[in-house]
Structure 1
Amino acid sequence: MGKQQDVGAADQHSASGTTDHRPIGGDADARLALAQDPTTPQMTLIDLASDPSAVVRKTVAARPDAPAQALRPLTRDHDRQVREAVARNPSSSVGNLMRLVKDDDRWVRWAVAGNPACDESIRRVMSEASDKELRGLLAESRELEPELAARLIDDASPEVRERLATHTHDPDVITALLADRTARVRKGLARNPRTTADQRSALAADPVVDVRAALVRTLELDEADLERLVDDRAVQVRLAMATSEVVPPHVREALTRDPDDMVAAAARDFRPGAGTSSAVRAPRIGHRPSSAGPGRRGDSRR
């Protein structure tokens, strides 16, 4: 994590040091260029943090070398894009992130979840949040502490538990979620490459078709499991096997003789690399669409 510099410390980006000040003037474009300039002194960045243009303030908020005196007030900026930029800044202090993870705007809160400066204290707040998506982003975190993972095992939202099941590296969490009564949670486990062979065998016998289909699309299975699934009663499962990138060639060859014409054709026509399945989706750290939406302000440069 980058370290915020206090006023008076040597400026690593300018030989003039942080106590120098570059005059601020001109229109918004000139001030924006100053905010983007890596040689701009720290004192000038502090002044630009109160610029009337939200675009200029956002640029300062996103700078990893922005001083703490600039970032702190920007966590309370009236423009959510500015606050979001602070939430993404890896140099933001824990105190700033703690304020922003409780922000009224969801995109600001979600941005905090992807910040590498997040520590256990912030993750704990996320685990207790009423925001389901924020808890879901926490569930996808590799740095999740066992205590917080245990809390998410019993989360009221099946989606949060599914995302935990898909991404967890904790064997105890995987074992606990295998007993989850919600099929979508077990489907998440069926996409998790950290499952053991025994756990995959249990998922191969799951009573829900979607779980078995997700399993054969994503994970390599023992021969005994493959032999059972190649004759699965559900066409959906056999079709998933026929088009899976991880199914061995001899199993796909057997499916070319499947009694269902669609399955047999899919097995015959399969071409490696043409599939779209993947083991685990990348964590969905919140990024707002680039187009303007309801409640979003446009360019506020003046």
Structure 2
Amino acid sequence: MKHAPVLCGLAANAALPSELLDRLIALAVADVDFTDDLAERADLSHAQALALYARVPETGVRLAREGRLTAADVDPVAQPDTALALLDEGRGNPEWARLLAVDPYSARRQRLAECGGLPPDVVETLAADPDVRVVAELAVRTTPEAAAALAEHPHTEVRRSVAWNDATPPEVLGALLTGEGLPPARRCLVCDREETNAPDGERPAFHLPPEGTCDGSHESAVHDIRHAALRNPATPIEAVVAAFADHLSTYLRWALVQRPDLPPELSRRLAVDPVAGIRADLAGNPAIDDALMRTLADDEDQDVRRHLAHNPHVPLDVLVRLAATTKLRADLPPPRIAAASPAEVGELARSTDSTVRMLLALRRDLPAEIRDALAADPDAKVLKSIAPHPGLSEAQLRAMVDRHGVRVLAKVATNPDAPGALLEDLTRHRPPVQKAFREIARHPRATPQALLACLADDRARAIAAGHPALPPQTIVELLADDDCAVAKAAAGNPALPCAVMGDLMP
């Protein structure tokens, strides 16, 4: 068979003629590398999908999830995994669920339990499954009625799954927190482990963390149930405030801070928690008020201030203050800046703090006058942020490179409006900027000359090999490249001549 990377590239080539695609499908077998590439093609017809499925049944799950197969195409007895994929997508036959609910392989029953919209009788069957993993999977996403019933399950892992389910009735979640009104659990992971250590024991249902303990009250498991319930936004906040705001467990206090209904009193208590991670997650919670945000802006921990800076409701003046004291992401504007009003945008653009101007420059929807002002900024980090902004002229982009050279060159190469002539010049810059070659190699306006220069860079070579502006003869030569990634990219290049594609077929 031909060089495997080349066939993989052909299988993914968007310009592959239909008749050649049929030939590749006829060559597909389970252990051939290009089978997955064929299954992922967006132009695969129903007939071609059926042909591929017939040759390689293992592709059924992927084809089903991509919408290439229908219920009429699948035999649930011969291909239960494909049937499960269709059920999970909501396009399977409900009768399959009844068949799979009694499948001897418990992992399949577990995957069935993950599916939504199961018939009530199937839910009932799965709820009584002898494998607790199946029941726990069902409990995570089942209906309120079924969740309420499963809250009384004898195994704590099922109860923990019920506590994660946001469809669980609030009163049931409250009971899981306190244990009141529910029969005592009879089993937990520690109990299972201890049985496993017995001579005739079975394997435990779940992996047990080494710190798990049980003195008969299943204390580790109860702790985990409470954590899940505290994280569940459907759990009544009254139960949270009364019993867990000052709990000795860091894990449980941490579960509170991201709740969207966090009341001010509880927020203030958590704001002085000794654990910095708790304060950091609290700082990022949009539910906290302005007064608390101003307090947290003075927190000594950088991570707390960083989370606060990315809170969408942080006051703008607080964010400006944080920019001077906190290292923030340089690839996305903070949500508050992304949502700034036109008047606020103008105020930020006039800031004397270059970091503030840099964060504003990360937006890609700035008015032309603000964009152009930032494009003339004297600070290189501001230019790096604004350089990819659409609408900048060639002259503006060249001026950035002239002023700051290698510090901004790679970002200039990402500008969607950068003309081919500029990209060619960037490849000739001395000293060269390796990252710029990778950006140029994937740029839709890259010229053949620019792409040829990118081929000389080891990390840009495979990217350039797949660019349709590369000269066809060069693409053909790259099919024999020693680097498999380069050969595959060349074979996947839509500019590869069709005659050559045919010659590459076995």
Q: TM-score, normalised by structure 1?
A: 0.63
Q: Which residue of 1 aligns with 2:321?
A: 128
Matched residue type, 1:14: P
C-alpha deviation, 1:203, in angstroms:
1.2
| Alpha-carbon spacing, 1:261–1:175, altered in 2? closer, same or farther (3 Å) | closer
Q: Which residue of 2 aligns with 1:33?
A: 225
Q: Which SS does the other structure have where 1:112 is aligned? A: helix
Q: Does 2:348 match 1:149?
A: yes
**Which runs of 5 or more residues in structure 1 are unaligned?**
1-11, 276-302
- Please give the alpha-carbon distance, in whole angstroms, between the structure 2 residues aligned to 1:232 and 1:42: 62
Q: How does 1:24-63 map to 2 (within 5 A)?
A: 27=219, 30-37=222-229, 38=232, 40-46=235-241, 47-63=243-259
Asked if structure 1 preserves the Cα contact closer than 8 Å seen for 2:283 and 2:311, the reply is: yes
Q: How does 1:1-302 map to 2 (within 5 A)?
A: 14-15=170-171, 22=178, 27=219, 30-37=222-229, 38=232, 40-46=235-241, 47-116=243-312, 118-119=313-314, 122-129=315-322, 130-133=324-327, 140=334, 141-144=337-340, 145-152=344-351, 154-155=352-353, 157=354, 160-167=356-363, 169-171=365-367, 172-190=369-387, 192-194=388-390, 196-198=391-393, 200-205=394-399, 206-207=401-402, 208-210=404-406, 211-222=408-419, 225=422, 229=425, 232=428, 234=430, 236=432, 240=436, 243-248=440-445, 251-253=447-449, 256=452, 262=456, 270-272=464-466
C-alpha deviation, 1:188, in angstroms:
2.6
Bigger-Rg structure (1/2): 2
Q: Percent identity?
A: 24
Asked if structure 1 preserves the Cα contact closer than 8 Å seen for 2:302 and 2:326, the reply is: no
Matched residue type, 1:204: R
- Please give the alpha-carbon distance, in whole angstroms, between the structure 1 residues aligned to 2:442 and 2:449: 14
Asked if structure 2 preserves the Cα contact closer than 8 Å seen for 1:239 and 1:263, the reply is: no
- Please give the alpha-carbon distance, in whole angstroms, between the structure 1 residues aligned to 2:256 and 2:392: 50
| Alpha-carbon spacing, 1:52–1:17, altered in 2? closer, same or farther (3 Å) | closer
| Alpha-carbon spacing, 1:137–1:83, altered in 2? closer, same or farther (3 Å) | farther
Q: CA RMSD in A?
A: 4.3
- Please give the alpha-carbon distance, in whole angstroms, between the structure 2 residues aligned to 1:272 and 1:261: 11
| Alpha-carbon spacing, 1:167–1:102, altered in 2? closer, same or farther (3 Å) | same
Q: TM-score, normalised by structure 2?
A: 0.41
Q: Which SS does the other structure have where 1:91 is aligned? A: coil
Asked if structure 2 preserves the Cα contact closer than 8 Å seen for 1:61 and 1:71, the reply is: yes
| Alpha-carbon spacing, 1:252–1:162, altered in 2? closer, same or farther (3 Å) | farther
C-alpha deviation, 1:14, in angstroms:
1.9
Q: Deviations over 1:231-263 (max 9, x none)?
A: 8554627994574211436x124653x6x9947
| Alpha-carbon spacing, 1:147–1:103, altered in 2? closer, same or farther (3 Å) | farther
Asked if structure 2 preserves the Cα contact closer than 8 Å seen for 1:45 and 1:70, the reply is: no
Asked if structure 2 preserves the Cα contact closer than 8 Å seen for 1:35 and 1:45, the reply is: no
Q: Deviations over 1:148-174 (max 9, x none)?
A: 41343x21x5x5544433336323332
Judge which range, 81-90 or 36-45, deviates more.
36-45
